[in-house]
Amino acid sequence: MERIPILKMGPFLLVTIQVDLYDRLALTLENDLINMVSKTEAKGVLIDISAVSIVDSFMGRILGNIASMSKIMDATTVVVGMQPAVAITLVELGLTLSGVYTALDVEQGMELLRDKIGHLEKDEEGLYDSFI
Amino acid sequence: MIVLSKEKLPIQKEQDVVLFRNRIKELATKIGMSLVNQTKLITAASELVRNMLRYGGGGVTQLEIVSRNSMPGVRLIFTDKGPGISDITLAMKDGYSTGKSLGLGLPGAKRLVNEFDLKSEPGQGTTVTVIRWKNGL
């Protein structure tokens, strides 16, 4: 069965969606990601959709689900790389992706994740943990 | 309105959808549709084809390049022989869904195209026709 690979990068999980998703593949990704968050105790999930040309209401719901599920498992989700045409279409469709953090690209997304967990990982002197 | 090209693609399983979306992209590119309009059209098609699979048990799509007053466009016709929609007004309302979705499919798809027509007979099936013009706003 076809699967989207999930990479572990320090305290984060990295997903780059390079193929056009059909519904079952998106559901498998949702499932795999949540299991990986639990298994690796990841603090953040970064999903790169720069190669995705279509986000419809189903795909939007999956992204929202991943963010909410990760959140109750103490991980932050950031979606990066959305193409301008996809953003325009999503808003017209009526989907706001509320509750999902977004950033322009992978680099800024990583920074956002470091920031988000940085606040939690500060030690007594207010310094960040070394791995961050 | 003149029909310049016409082809049919059956949709029976989820994987058929990817091929269907690619084919729309080819047609839209052929008539020089902008990327934003292409994305809107394919997203709308994606919503409608999902409905067809989920509620209609699959069906047939017809992809056409059409022209009206020398303005080209892509027309898509979705036909299924499913149970049909008993209350179209309700089905077209934002946030209404008989499944577990967000209820954006039909009204959302309508917002993303220039022309939208839905015909449904309970017990007979549903036909949805949409057009996105090359330069339609």
- Average of pLDDT values for A90-108? 92
Question: How near does any CA of chain A get to the CA of B104, in Å?
Answer: 7
| Chain B partners within 8 Å of A88 (Cβ) | 36, 39-40
Residues of A with CB under 8 A from a CB of B: 20, 22-24, 53-58, 60-61, 83-86, 88-89, 92-95
Whether residue A124 is predicted with pLDDT greater than 70 in this model: the reply is: no
A&B contacts, CB < 8 Å: 69
Q: Is the ipTM of this complex over 0.90?
A: no
Q: Could you read off the pLDDT of B28-37 as tens digits, one per residue?
A: 999 999 999 9
CA pseudo-torsion sign B67, B71, B73, B79? negative
- Average of pLDDT values for B42-62? 94
With a pLDDT cut of 90, the percent of chain B lying above it is 77
To 5 degrees, how large is the angle CA A74–CA A33–CA B22?
A: 135
Q: How confident is the model at residue A127 (pLDDT cuts 50, 70, 90)?
A: low
Q: Could you read off the pLDDT of B57-108 as tens digits, one per residue?
A: 999 999 999 999 999 999 999 999 999 988 888 888 888 877 666 677 899 9
Q: Where are the beta strands (DSSP E) in chain A?
A: 6-9, 12-16, 44-48, 76-80, 101-103
